[in-house]
Amino acid sequence: MSTLTRKQREIRDRERQILVIARQMLLERGYLGLNMDRIAEAIGYSKGTVYQHFSSKEDLLAALCVQTKQKRVEFFEKAARFEGRPRERMTAIALGDEMFVAQFPDYSRSEELLNIESIFAKASECQQQAMRDVEARCIGAVCGIASDAVTCGDMTMPEGSNIYDMCFGLYGMSFGCRVAGKICTTLHELMSPDTLEVLRKNQQALLDGWGWRPLSSEWDYAATRRRAAAEAFHAEPAAVTHNSN
Amino acid sequence: MSTLTRKQREIRDRERQILVIARQMLLERGYLGLNMDRIAEAIGYSKGTVYQHFSSKEDLLAALCVQTKQKRVEFFEKAARFEGRPRERMTAIALGDEMFVAQFPDYSRSEELLNIESIFAKASECQQQAMRDVEARCIGAVCGIASDAVTCGDMTMPEGSNIYDMCFGLYGMSFGCRVAGKICTTLHELMSPDTLEVLRKNQQALLDGWGWRPLSSEWDYAATRRRAAAEAFHAEPAAVTHNSN
Amino acid sequence: MSTLTRKQREIRDRERQILVIARQMLLERGYLGLNMDRIAEAIGYSKGTVYQHFSSKEDLLAALCVQTKQKRVEFFEKAARFEGRPRERMTAIALGDEMFVAQFPDYSRSEELLNIESIFAKASECQQQAMRDVEARCIGAVCGIASDAVTCGDMTMPEGSNIYDMCFGLYGMSFGCRVAGKICTTLHELMSPDTLEVLRKNQQALLDGWGWRPLSSEWDYAATRRRAAAEAFHAEPAAVTHNSN
Amino acid sequence: MSTLTRKQREIRDRERQILVIARQMLLERGYLGLNMDRIAEAIGYSKGTVYQHFSSKEDLLAALCVQTKQKRVEFFEKAARFEGRPRERMTAIALGDEMFVAQFPDYSRSEELLNIESIFAKASECQQQAMRDVEARCIGAVCGIASDAVTCGDMTMPEGSNIYDMCFGLYGMSFGCRVAGKICTTLHELMSPDTLEVLRKNQQALLDGWGWRPLSSEWDYAATRRRAAAEAFHAEPAAVTHNSN
DNA sequence: CATGAATGAGCCTTCATTCAT
DNA sequence: TATGAATGAAGGCTCATTCAT
């Protein structure tokens, strides 16, 4: 049994190694620069071995996404456990998102690729299910907080809207601002230089707009960020907040 | 002379036709499904002829982007000329954006592609300049309105922020929500079914959050949308607003 | 008639112009870089017009060769008319060859191409005949001198050999040394730096070896070269002989 | 192990087979007639397999050249080891050259191609080094003999010349006469029918002209050839010398 | 299980030549 | 006669996937 376990461990390690290298390639050389030959060569195993782990290139890419989202959800769930008023916890989620993107900068890319190259459809059913699961946890973490806010009376959704609508806006803005930051050079030259800080301000403005109490004018969310960094992520506040908010 | 003109017209028409077909392919089959052979076959001309119009695949894609952005800017500038208070005009811009996306649903895709597949770098210098020009006009239309709002006192930017920061948030949210609408199926099942209407609400919430007067609680922006549809775009209000706002 | 003549002149001029440009392209960009589109663009006429002059690419290349060889034969015949003892006149031929190659450096290339790319076979019958004619004149000039040498007793061909055999050796050496000078970099670094002067010495050695009187030890052929430069080619001796021979 | 070796042998054999077929194509159809598709078809394997052996067309051509030159140098070094006076050994080299050209008639072609189509520059660095090495050995074999002749007093180089100059003449003449034999049909009809024999006579004349003792009038070099054929190449004299010299 | 040779469809691009205007 | 748009065969090269060893 010990032999089997060791073997299994070997396999799991190799699988991770493949994903690490595939991710590097995706980032450095783009979708077209990512090919099975190069991956096999880079890990030092044969192509056939790579195919024993992933039934196709699409499957590998899907696994890459799942793995990345799993990592992201860890940050989100850690943030959700942070103690404080709901909007404080949502601020912690935003911090978790930032930390995740900083630590795994390929996230947005993977997500874009999944969309653009219809990889998802070609991935195995198992991978598709894994994707849906992790997505559900991710949404659960975020929307749970919004739900708590409504329950405790910190926020009242207007008629015709629900908390998911608001979360959709938050998600879209976070994702969109990251991509836009890379695309739109012209706007970039005019706006404040710290793109992340601009994103934060827009996030708080959006929550203010939805009337989530306490409003940013009524509370020091920069302090909340610092506290969350220390308590939820055990990070040096200095490493987290460059500017006051 | 008429003969010459006819021939030239034929060529121009074919160029447009190529772009139309290329755009369809991009939407239906993705970047990798778009190839010169298929385009040639689809327009019923030979590959050589396609290459007489566009010197490379990248050139074609860049032309596609420029053409699309040119179209978008027309909508934006039309909206910017709409008469009303600045936030009304910004609402008209949002309407223009919606109309544009509805009419050219490949916009986001083109933009993503430009980012992901470093097409921009490979395009001819002439195309790159055209791209920059049209981008500048686009930003000018949107930010000009925000600037007017500050000038007339409808909005006061907090210290440390400028109007471009706010516009960045608006742009990111619009772009991001469109992409997210396609990606995130799990969230999609929970939120209100009309994604566009959800986007609109988030946009108004964001403007409220930045304190842009009159707030959505003080003004009927759904009515503004209807008026803008009629006055700026000469469109049937019914065709524009499915839901009341 | 004057109109016709003018037109004809125009046509002839354009034909020359095409050949000039084609030759440049061949030298600068090689056989594969020489194409009909580029030629048409360079002369400012359409491709159709080029095809009115030359029925195919091969035909054009053959014309290039014929024209070049015609130029070469002019040098040879000028040299053959130089007054002196036969070996002096052969020295003048060698000088003519040098001057021709210096002035039309594409000659060897054209000749190599004709051989390598079986262009000759694809050229029109008319061009093939022209080629043969000019070749005959070229041989006539050289071999006529050798024949004179035998007649006047300056040289005696050994049994089993004829003057054409010797001329073949001379021709081969001249052609081969020029090509070898470009190919064989290793040898080039060891030998005397002035490749042309080395060729001259080998030519004289070859004639000495065939016993052509007066031998190079009995006559100042460097002086002959200077005289030939002045008398046959009206060139500055300085421009012709860098080193004494 | 035997299995592995068999596979490896198969691969090596196929590589050779590719070169054999490529060489045939080059000879029969010229540079442009040599293409990867046809090669793949001719060996009965797919294009991909050919590319597993040679990373590009240029690489294949370079390999062709290296292989051929390696073969040639074997002949030269065998000839250089022949015992006799230096000029006898040089005669053996000339015989080796002949035998080599007869056995590998594509040699001149390869060499010309390298020059004309700048293949050398596009080949892999490894191939370029191999090419330089083999060239150095080739020159060493020939020039070593000339050096011995000077050392032992059989030849005295005139002031201003060195042995490499003479070798350059010999090399140029051998190369040039082979090419000229194919090009210049007019001269071919007039000269002695056995082109090879004509080349030999010119070579001996050249050595006589440089004063290399014993002169051809003082020694029976035809006999030397026969001896070299037997001793250095173990060939039937009949197979080597068609005509008496 | 691991290997990596073999496959072959597919892609982008070029260019000599034709022919309607 | 001049034009230049149209052609389409060809060529070099890539790469996901398979399968015999």
Residue A181's pLDDT band (cuts 50, 70, 90): confident
Predicted confidence band of residue C204 (pLDDT cuts 50, 70, 90): very high
Separation between Cα atoms, residue B99 and residue B79, nearest integer Å: 11
CB contact under 8 A, A180 and B172: yes
Beta-carbon count within 10 A of D244 CB: 11
Cβ of residue C171 closer than 8 Å to a chain D Cβ: yes
State the average pLDDT over residues B130-147: 93
Spacing of C48 CA from E18 C1' in Å? 9
Region class of A96: left (phi > 0), else alpha (psi between -120 and 50), else beta: alpha
Residue A84 vs residues A137, A148, A221, B60, D65: alpha-carbon distances, Å: 21, 11, 11, 53, 77
**Which domains, from first to last, does chain B contain?**
1-53 (1.10.10.60), 57-239 (1.10.357.10)
Give the model's pLDDT for residue D115.
65
Assess C105–D contact: CB distance below 8 Å, yes or no: no
- What's the rounded Cα separation, in Å, for the pair B18 and B3? 23
pLDDT in tens, A214-223: 999 999 999 9
Which residue of A lies nearest to B117 if distances are taken between CA atoms? A30
Q: State the Cα–Cα distance between residues B123 and A221, nearest whole angstrom.
A: 45
Q: Which residues of B touch A168 (CB under 8 A)?
A: 177, 180, 184, 187, 191, 195, 198, 202
Nearest CA in chain A to B142: A187
**pLDDT tier for residue C245 given thresholds of 50, 70 and 90:** very low
State pLDDT tens for residues A87-112: 999 999 999 999 998 888 777 677 76
DSSP result, B172-210: HHHHHHHHHHHH-HHHHHHS-S-HHHHHHHHHHHHHHHT
Whether residue C1 lies within 8 A of chain D, CB to CB, comes out as no
What is the model's pLDDT at position A115? 64
Considering all nucleic acid strands, name the nucleotide whose C1' atom is nearest to the C-alpha of residue C10.
F1
Question: pTM of the prediction?
Answer: 0.85
Residue C241 has pLDDT above 70, yes or no: no
Q: What is the pLDDT of residues D205-242, one digit of tens each?
A: 999 999 999 999 999 999 999 999 999 998 765 555 54
Lookup: nucleotide whose C1' is closest to B14 CA: F5
CB of D222 within 8 Å of a chain C CB? The answer is no
Instruction: Of D197, A193, A196, give the one whose Cα is nearest residue B164.
Output: A193
State the average pLDDT over residues A184-212: 95
Place of tokens 């979360």: A167
Nucleotide nearest A31, CA–C1', reads F15
Residue D1 has pLDDT above 70, yes or no: no
Residue A242 has pLDDT above 70, yes or no: no
